[in-house]
Amino acid sequence: MSKQHLLTPYNKNINLKNRVVMAPMTRSRANNDGNVPTDQLHGLYYEQRASAGLIITEGAQVSEKAVGYIHTPGIHTDAQVEGWKKVTKRVHDKGGTIFIQLWHVGRMSHPDFHNGELPVSASAINPNSKSFTPQGFKDTVTPKEMTIEDIKATVKDFKNAAANAVKAGFDGIELHSSNGYLFQQFFNGTSNKRTDKYGGTDENKTRFFFEVLDAMKQVIPQEKIGVRFNPSLDGIFGMTMDKDTIPTFEYLIKRLNDYNLAYVHLSEPFTDVSDIPYAVTEIAKHFRPLYNGTLMINTAFDQDKGNKIIEDGYADLVAYGKPFISNPDLVERFENNLELAAWDKDTFYTTGAKGYTDYPKATK
Q: Say which of 181, 198, 251, 320 is annotated catalytic.
A: 181
Question: In whole angstroms, what is the distance from residue 229 CA to residue 211 CA?
Answer: 17
Phi and psi of 269, rounded to 5°? -55, 140
Q: What is the pLDDT of residue 97?
A: 98
The 10s digit of each residue's pLDDT in 269-317 is: 999 999 999 999 999 999 999 999 999 999 999 999 999 999 999 999 9
Higher pLDDT, 137 or 201: 201
Percent of the chain clearing pLDDT 90 (strictly above): 97
Phi and psi of 296, rounded to 5°? -110, 140
Cβ(45)–Cβ(86) below 8 Å: no
Q: Is the pTM of this model over 0.85?
A: yes
Q: Where are the beta strands (DSSP E) in 94-185?
A: 98-103, 120-121, 130-133, 136-139, 144-145, 172-176
Mean pLDDT of the chain: 97
Q: What is the CA angle 260-261-265, rounded to 5?
A: 145
Phi-psi domain of 109 (left: phi exceeds 0; alpha: psi -120 through 50; beta: other):
beta
Known active-site residue 181:
yes
Q: What is the pLDDT of residue 126?
A: 98
Question: In whole angstroms, what is the distance from residue 185 CA to residue 87 CA?
Answer: 31
Long-range contacts (CB closer than 8 Å, 24 or more residues apart) made by 133-139: 133/70, 134/70, 138/110, 138/112
Q: What is the pLDDT of residue 364?
A: 66
Percent of the chain clearing pLDDT 70 (strictly above): 99
Q: What is the pLDDT of residue 2?
A: 67
For residue 149, give every residue at least 6 positions away whose Cβ sits within 8 Å of its Cβ, in sequence order, or none: none
The 10s digit of each residue's pLDDT in 318-328 is: 999 999 999 99
**What is the rounded average pLDDT of the residues 84-101?**
98
Higher pLDDT, 256 or 2: 256
The 10s digit of each residue's pLDDT in 155-196 is: 999 999 999 999 999 999 999 999 999 999 999 999 999 999
Q: What is the pLDDT of residue 136?
A: 87
3-class secondary structure, 281: coil
